[in-house]
Amino acid sequence: MRRYDLHCHSTYSDGLLSPSAVVERAAARGVDVLALTDHDELSGIAEAQAAARGTSLTLVPAAEVSVTWEDHTIHVVALRIDPGNTLLADGLEQIRAGRDARARRIAQALEAVGIRGAFQGALRYVTSERLISRTHFARFLVEEGIASDVKDVFKRYLSPGKPGYVAHAWAQMGDALSWIRAAGGQPVLAHPGRYKLTQTALKRLIAEFHMHGGIGIEVLSSAHTAAQVAEFAGVARAFGLRASCGSDYHGPGESRLDLGDLPPLPAGLTPIWDDW
Ligand code: AMP
Ligand code: MN
Ligand code: MN
Ligand code: MN
């Protein structure tokens, strides 16, 4: 059986490894099909594709798109997109454009609780001048000894309701999905277990996602417990969504699952790759 990992990050967003290092690591770990899904960014795909040439690994051009739905931040993995599509590239550029001002607001919010120099500090962890993320702040706060690891920073400072969290408007669901579909991509709802949604809100989200052309849902993800895997397998069956799987790997020491560390999909699901 082929081994799929359809969610991971490189230095073109908030990962720690370059696209070629990600591809080499995935190939060495037995991954057959890998999607590089940098946040709101396509620039790493060319390097990943070049690294995959001459190996047995198939690289799927992809991205993870930040969306605001109601008052929640939702991530949509866009698989098999055409990286040359200008509608998608322009849309992602719009999303990224808001990140600098947001980072300054995060730094101000942290300053208000006595953490100084976070903007400059986060910048030292930024690996692409095109994109600053909360993860870069998290790495700085760990360096400062304010928290023990990145997860701890999110729990105490960077999640909704915590002192360093600032609200932000990402793309609208309809816009994001229209860009993805224009680029020939398959929209997949990323790590649904991460969102703090009631059952009725989850149903509304999936209905809207489906209405705009969303076709898949991540069932296997490092963000999911065993109970959530079962829950979202049920959701996939009930709503006729195809199932996807991804480690959401960000780099050595930061991720619960390494590249390709995924069990087979639960029975009775149609994999997103069924017609690839
Ligand atoms: P941003 O797009 O700047 O809001 O950053 C989102 C990123 O922060 C995610 O892609 C994860 O890499 C990271 N993140 C969010 N929540 C957590 C968490 N609870 N623990 C560890 N990393 C997280
Ligand atoms: Mn990330
Ligand atoms: Mn995500
Ligand atoms: Mn991700």
DSSP letters of the chain? ---EE--B--TTTT-SS-HHHHHHHHHHTT-SEEEE--BT--TTHHHHHHHHTTSSPEEEEEEEEEEEETTEEEEEEEES--TT-HHHHHHHHHHHHTHHHHHHHHHHHHHHTT--SHHHHHHTT--STT---HHHHHHHHHHTTSSSSHHHHIIIIISTTSTT------EEHHHHHHHHHHTT-EEEE--GGGS---HHHHHHHHHHHHHTT--EEEEEETT--HHHHHHHHHHHHHHTPEEEEE--B-STTT-SS-TT--PPPPTT--BTTTT-
Residue whose Cα lies nearest atom 11 of ligand 1: it is 135
Query: Is residue 227 over pLDDT 90?
Result: yes
Query: Is residue 100 over pLDDT 90?
Result: yes
Say how many Å lie between the CA of residue 185 and the centre of ligand 2. 20
Output the pLDDT for position 1. Answer: 85
Give the nearest ligand 1 atom to 150 CA: 21
Output the pLDDT for position 206. Answer: 97
Which two structure tokens, joined as six digits, stand for 171? 């793309």
Output the pLDDT for position 70. Answer: 97
Cα–Cα distance for residue pair 48/92, rounded to 1 Å: 19
Cα–Cα distance for residue pair 77/217, rounded to 1 Å: 9
Which two structure tokens, joined as six digits, stand for 57? 């690994």
* Residue ranges covered by each domain of the chain: 4-92+171-246, 98-158
**Whether residue 135 has its Cβ less than 6 Å from ligand 1:** yes
Output the pLDDT for position 204. Answer: 98
Query: Which residues are CB-neighbours of 102 under 8 A, at least 6 positions away?
Result: 166, 168
**Whether residue 133 has its Cβ less than 6 Å from ligand 1:** yes
Which residue of 119, 133, 166, 196 sits with most ligand 1 atoms within 8 Å of its CB, as the best mutation to test the pocket?
133
Q: What integer is the mean pLDDT of 220-243?
A: 97
Query: Is residue 54 over pLDDT 90?
Result: no
Beta pairing class for 186-189 and 72-79: antiparallel
Which residue of 99, 154, 155 sits with most ligand 1 atoms within 8 Å of its CB, as the best mutation to test the pocket?
154
pTM of this prediction? 0.98
For 82, half-sphere exposure in the C-beta direction (CA atoms, 13 angstrom radius) is 9
| Listed residue (165, 205, 170) closest to 189, CA to CA | 205
Question: Domain 98-158: which CATH class?
Answer: mainly alpha
pLDDT digits (tens, 9 = 90+) for 64-78: 999 999 999 999 999
Domain 4-92+171-246 listed as CATH 3.20.20.140: yes
Burial of 171 per CB tally in 10 Å (0-12, 13-18, 19+): buried
Question: Which percentage of the chain shows pLDDT scores above 70?
Answer: 100
Output the pLDDT for position 34. Answer: 99
Give the nearest ligand 1 atom to 168 CA: 4
Residue whose Cα lies nearest atom 12 of ligand 1: it is 135
pLDDT digits (tens, 9 = 90+) for 151-206: 999 999 999 999 999 999 999 999 999 999 999 999 999 999 999 999 999 999 99
Say how many Å lie between the CA of residue 54 and the centre of ligand 1. 33
Question: Which percentage of the chain shows pLDDT scores above 90?
Answer: 99
Say how many Å lie between the CA of residue 96 and the centre of ligand 3. 15
Query: Is residue 248 over pLDDT 90?
Result: yes
